[in-house]
Chains A and B, each alone.
Chain A
Amino acid sequence: MSELGIAVRRGRTRRRPRLSWAFAFVLPLLMVAMELAVFSVEPRVLSQRNLINILNQSSYVLVFAAAQMMVILTRGFDLSLGASVSAISVASALVMTGLASAGAPAWLIVVAGLAAGMGFGLLVGLFNGLLVAGLGINPFVVTLGSLNICLGLATTISGGRPVFNVPDPFSHLLYDGTFIPGIPVPLTLAAIISLLLYFVLGHTVFGRSLYLIGNNPRAAELAGLPSKRYLALAYVCCALLAAFGALMLTARTGSGEPNLGGSLMLESIAAAVIGGVSLMGGVGGILQALLGAMFVTMLSNAMDLLEVGGYVQQILLGCVIIGAIFLDRLRVTRS
């Protein structure tokens, strides 16, 4: 016994912490290196305006990466995130413009818009969650299905055109108003969501269960955790977060856009995985989502400043995703 114990210690504990420390630093270092490299060519990258811009932009990415993280933790993913964002944007914009033209009061318009968006998100989440958890269907197929349904809905109800004239009070609330003086609203909202998720994941039975389910679904079930309910709930949380992100984006553009979510599915998964949320489930947290979101945002910001074309950016995003898998793999085999 004791010999076995010693061998165990010899092989393991000494190496592990060092590596996980190394991994925790890889991404921040990469970010700093990237910014400095770009700075040597394009000094504007470190200007105050650009830095605030990056923070603002990453707020949105963070919301979607966090949404995606909720389901990736359970070994799933949500391909419909993106299509659902488009559909929610259009639906909430239609509700608000409809009420506005009927002359409803501002508060009612805003509340109805929020309710329509979150309600739509709830439906998408329930659809995904019930099929994945209740019927045990592969999340890939389920969310591929809901992707198409959302895509169809988004283009059908909008007729394929943007829904303009989203009332200003809505944009004030979620975009350019003041919530805490001096801090942009999206940043505030992202911070609130982060704190909320930090608490949920670390300090509630639901959060703990997500990690356990993702790490070993059978074991979680045998330990009497209500796995199915929590799994479904994870998809609902994901869709609700995506819906909130969609509302934030709608507030920013001031219109309901049927193509709003175009690249969001890819970006959200990429950000979460790059940050260190493992596709094998059970590993990751809000900090990882935050790091990933910052990285993805900085990368595209740098490319924008360097006037790299959109097509090349798409190629690079693909390369970054494959690079992230390498990293993920490395982490998993080492620990």
Chain B
Amino acid sequence: MSPTQLEDASRTGSPVRGDLLLELTGISKFFPGVVALDGVDFDLRHGEVHVLFGENGAGKSTLINIIAGTYPPDAGAFRYRGHALSRLTPHEARAIGISPVFQEFSLVPDLTVEQNLFLGRELTAGGLLNRAAMRAKAEAIIRDLGFDLDPNRKVRELSRAHQQMVEIAKAFLTEVRLLILDEPTASLTEAEAAKLFSLVAKLRAAGVGIIYVSHRMREITAIADRITVLRDGRKIRTVASGEVSETELVELMTGRKIDVLFPEIEFRPRETLLEVEHLTLADRSVNDVSFFARAGEITGIAGLVGCGKSEIIRAVFGLETIASGSIRVGGEVVAHPSPTALLRRGLCYFPSDRVAEGLALSRPVRENASMAALDLPAFSRARVLQRRSERRVIQSIVERLRLQPPQIERPVANFSGGNRQKVLLARGLTRDIKVFLFDEPTVGVDVGAKAEVYELMKALVSAGVAIVLVSSELPEVMHLSHRLYVMHRSRIVAELTGKDINEPEVLSYFFGERSPAAAAG
């Protein structure tokens, strides 16, 4: 973003500060099986940072996708700079100054940084690409943003943090009136984040409206003018920054008192069930990591996006290529980890992406629940299915988990996020599982089901299983874990217990070795 561009934005944006830039009324959006947004009102003024606050699955990303023109709302009105808009396309949105920076990167892996920056907006001269002009402009933008990016590198080869930078740089290619930032700091270091914040401040001064999605408290209090809280697809409240305390915000977000949402789980550690020593992955996303998990205890792993926390438990389950290190389950070394081998040893991994990795959506609940236990006599004998016994066992598990509705012959696609998670969890109850590896267990799960998932964890722990909980939801991982590991850049940098598990303490490790300044902040 060059100074001239900033001036351009301020001139053509005709921003009388405080005027409405965007006004959404009664926006609804339905997806198969889910009401993503239900009559949401939202507005944004010129020169304002408006934070969207809510848990995963609350409807934040649906809302920003509607504003960015990715998909049309099913109901509601959309006014931008005083004009009613309908059937907005991503292309038009960019043309009228709406620049989204998505968390799910919209980058083409096999194109270079520069090619990605200009995708859809290439500069041409006489019908051919003007490569020199694009190179100059790309370099200028990257320089102004202060990012450390090589325009020639293929995006495939970049780290997640660098891909995030490309994504942000994309938004500054054209004149920006409305900037959408979707958890932009999720994988940035503190220094990089600080640069981004000063940029946001500059843009705000120039009259650009900014929608900022985050659930990091520190950022929100530092940057927001107003905050809108979403929960389960509905708008809960819009408040001015400083009007409510952090605790109140979290309670607005989760819809209940924090101590009610997170059950008190008794801490009675017993024998060590899972032991990982000096684990290093082939792609170095996990580097020389050692940890253990005991029966009767929840072991948490926290860290920035891309720090390697989910790769650890995926590797334990045999889903990542291991370069060196050892894994022991119940004292025995697992030489070649694979899902089959680990399920047999009583260890089960529950993936965060249930659609991609967890469930066969168009198959019935029954088949999805019994999938991991088809080798057991309750489900098959001599490789012939015992369908009656299967129905009986799954029906009772499903009722125990309070699946809504408890119909085991319905395709999983027809269930909501929370119920899909229950179907997945049913897998852990079909066989004798001693170690549960949870990867973001409440992503896309509504609050009611979330509480039920936590209750199930409590029941499991008191029954003597070991739970490893990997989560990006800081409140969740802090309140549930008895022992919490913090990861930074592929390594474990801290192991916290008891009273040490609190937000300042945990966050201070998020950005690497603890420095006194960070600890104080």
Contact = CB atoms under 8 A, between A and B. Distances in A.
Contacts, number: 110
Given A219-B360, A223-B371, A223-B427, A205 B385 contact: yes
Interface in A211-263: 211-212, 215-216, 218-226
B140 interface: no
A215 B363 contact: yes
B194 interface: no
A202 B351 CA distance: 28
A40 interface: no
A223 B340 CA distance: 7
A181 B83 CA distance: 80
Contacts of B244: none
Contact of A216 (B32, B360, B374, B411): B360
Given A13-B414, A222-B349, A5 B357 contact: no
Nearest to B33: A8
Contacts of A8: 33-34, 414-416
If over half of B's interface residues share one DSSP class (helix, strand or loop), that class is named, otherwise mixed; here it is mixed
A283 B339 CA distance: 25
Report the interface size class on chain A. Answer: 35 or more
A101 interface: no
A49 interface: no
B384 interface: yes
A7 interface: yes
Nearest to B340: A224
A172 interface: no
Interface string A188-217: 000000000000001111101101100110
Q: Which bracket fits the contact residues of B?
A: 35 or more
B495 to A, nearest CB: 28
Nearest to B418: A1
A335 interface: yes
B360 A211 contact: yes
A218 B385 contact: no
B392 interface: no
Given A11-B32, A221-B339, A282 B374 contact: no
A200 to B, nearest CB: 10
Given A205-B374, A218-B356, A5 B385 contact: no
Given A8-B33, A222-B339, A282 B360 contact: yes
A246 B349 CA distance: 45
B232 interface: yes
A29 interface: no
Contacts of A218: 356-357
A12 B448 contact: no
Contacts of A16: 414
Contacts of B411: 335
A284 B342 CA distance: 32
Contacts of B446: 1, 4
Contacts of B448: 1
B372 A215 contact: no
A221 B337 CA distance: 13
Interface in B391-448: 404-405, 410-411, 414-416, 418-419, 427, 446-448
Contacts of A226: 340
Interface in A1-27: 1-5, 7-9, 11-13, 16
B367 A205 contact: no
B387 interface: yes
B357 A219 contact: yes
B30 interface: yes
Given A4-B35, A12-B33, A218-B356, A211 B404 contact: no
B362 A215 contact: yes
B384 A204 contact: yes
14 contacts: A1-B404, A1-B448, A4-B34, A5-B405, A7-B34, A11-B30, A16-B414, A208-B374, A211-B363, A219-B358, A223-B371, A224-B342, A225-B371, A282-B363
Which 5 interchain pairs have the tightest Cβ spacing?
Answer: A1-B448, A215-B360, A223-B371, A223-B372, A224-B343
Interface of A: 1-5, 7-9, 11-13, 16, 202-206, 208-209, 211-212, 215-216, 218-226, 282-283, 335
